[in-house]
Structure 1
């Protein structure tokens, strides 16, 4: 375990948690309940090291992935059932169409991750002339993409799915053929948008919410204007960061700072939250530039961990899967604080630690 701390990929998540712990000391005037709540959101990162070390010495990675895939397939099936049967949706208390558990943000994150990985696995199976596996993985990917397109999707996926698919394309096809593949994907996306009321509705809401920010409108058509709220949260965040740019305001200070800004306001300007919906801003408000340096260093160390593995033939596919997990988190964190969110944060910690540990295991085997 101590040796693991010598690796930046393992030490930096622990350092970020340590910063969150120490940051509770200078959160002046912030209730301890808010400080501990904010620390709890970051504390999951401390599990990265033990998971990395465990899977460095374990051969059960495929079982973990199989279990995660199976659980998502069951959720996928239930999602289609709930979407097609309003009576069942009402019975189980689904909050969104086709979302039987938790929320559509978490569901989208998991479905998108599985779908893109299955695309990569299908391509790998084709390379090894394993037609049965290729068809199976391709069918699973299509099922997940169909759910995202026609049932429910978080709009954050509009920015991280293209990046993830581009990474898979770069790995699988090089030169002019890669451009042809990307064009084909774009044509499919446009076609899906043309026949999917779900995608059209999500995009129309996004365009309307930009105007809602200018008019300070919280609700359009009975739905909250999430896009407009984000713009307001970011505006307040920039002001908070300017007043404490180096060390921030301390762990758990975001809600109090937003409350001070919201005093006497109406509409979206009066909304008080403890999450600015951007990972960089969430870190900078609490721990300033120091926190951002640690955050970016951690992401950089994890990217480096997997880009180094790309050159190894045996670990190439594993490295790409790890790279996809990091890319999804970084890009989605432009619009959310996903490291501090429960599902997305744990997905990142578990996926990156398991894949990283397995790559280290293979390196150790090659050297022995």
Structure 2
């Protein structure tokens, strides 16, 4: 029978039950729900047994359905507990267990005369509990099959039993169930539609969160890290230096002719120049280096585990590479671009702001000395 409808009233059992439920949290929850459902079904057998005893009848007729129930419960629990059903679309075997529970109700109805009038309402209740977990077609099929079997049993009992089946009450219950099954199928269809809608909404929300995360960490024009994200990375690098003492450098690059490009050819051409610098520059850096757009025409480069002289060599190679690969075409003529850069290394004990101020000063000195050069501080 369906085991996930008891989620609100169940809580994970303490660690002492690991021998029974295992350690996987999701599987533990499913198994706990199954045990609660089993207890309810076995409780139904218990009430029927009390009814038999109160009328002076034996329990022989109840032995077969009870034994079969214990058998399939043990088998289903063992399969779910072992994890063999984890990759199935229905990992807790809900549809299978519902079908077996309905078969148990029909068998008890045929063999035990006590409580027959409650069989049809019980079937309807069991199907109602599954509308959020089974497909509409499955519910209608199980309900229709239960109706056929119960009606067949009722008809046979009317023929062979001298006492009948306690008057018209079973037939009234079956008629009510027949009216309820289509409604349960419709409810299951609506529940499935709502699940699909919720799934689509969750997917859209996840995409929106991913987009927001990208906007929070990436520069929209270049796809590089933005200043906010780069500052967080630099803070982490400062902490790493405090732990390991490994050196690192940062460089601040400035596009020399960007203002002229914007004035002569428009902002669109200027944006293309910026995108090219990001693409050509980041592709030439080491895998461990990181490039970010710092402001409109400035780019920050982080070079981990790099002393000042190593950073100077890397930056000079990058500058020469940009000089030959970076530029744009205008009127069929290639217009090269270049940049000016300031470089500095992190000094033990200083703040990030002090380091950023020093690299900015190095860039200012480079600008004052001319274009297309690197100055370290």
TM-score, normalised to structure 1, is 0.23
Q: Name the one with the larger strand percent.
A: 2
- Please identify the structure whose Cα radius of gyration is greater: 2
Q: Name the one with the larger helix percent.
A: 1
TM-score, normalised to structure 2, is 0.23
